[in-house]
């Protein structure tokens, strides 16, 4: 079974600062994806970024980037130039896949990120 650990229950930074959210996971699988989802107060689950485990290059999406360290089973999210709208719960998630399809997502417990004006 897979486990995902987010060790920071809450973080608070000033607007425009850079912040890094940590995530570690445990698996014996070779074929998997990793994701970061954002859940603002509206409760909608919004995909932030995804990383295929077979790719060495770290994924980036505008101000969001990841540091994927496969050997260390680490998958941190960096948010640059943070904005008030980035305030949300951030969930790290793991998904195994095979020829038969993909499993459901295994989530960490989340990090509540607060961007202060």
Partner 1 sequence: DTAVSQTPKYLVTQMGNDKSIKCEQNLGHDTMYWYKQDSKKFLKIMFSYNNKELIINETVPNRFSPKSPDKAHLNLHINSLELGDSAVYFCASSQAAPLHTQYFGPGTRLTVL
What residue ranges bind partner 1 (CB under 8 A)? 33, 35, 37, 39, 43-47, 50, 89, 91, 95, 97, 101-107, 109-110
Rank residues 85 and 117 by Cβ distance to partner 1 and give the closer one.
Answer: 85
Rank residues 85 and 101 by Cβ distance to partner 1 and give the closer one.
Answer: 101
Token pair 């089973």 in the structure block, residue = 73
Give burial (CB, 10 Å; 0-12/13-18/19+) of 55. Answer: exposed
Cβ proximity of 91 and 85 under 8 Å: no
Rank residues 14 and 44 by Cβ distance to partner 1 and give the closer one.
Answer: 44
Nearest 5°: phi and psi at 35? -135, 155
Separation CA 62–CA 68 (nearest Å): 17
Q: In angstroms, what is the minimal distance from the CB of 107 to partner 1?
A: 4
Q: In angstroms, what is the minimal distance from the CB of 58 to partner 1?
A: 17
């Amino acid at each position: 079974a897979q486990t995902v650990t987010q060790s920071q229950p809450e973080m608070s930074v000033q607007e425009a600062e850079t912040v890094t959210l940590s995530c570690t996971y445990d698996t014996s699988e070779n074929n998997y994806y990793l994701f970061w989802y954002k859940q603002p107060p509206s409760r909608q689950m919004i995909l932030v970024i995804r990383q295929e485990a077979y790719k060495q290059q770290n994924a980036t999406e505008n101000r969001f980037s990841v540091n994927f360290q496969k050997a260390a089973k680490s998958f941190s999210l960096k948010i640059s130039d943070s904005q008030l709208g980035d305030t949300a719960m951030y969930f790290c998630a793991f998904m195994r896949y095979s020829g038969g399809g993909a499993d459901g997502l295994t989530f960490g417990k989340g990090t509540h990120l607060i961007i202060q004006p």
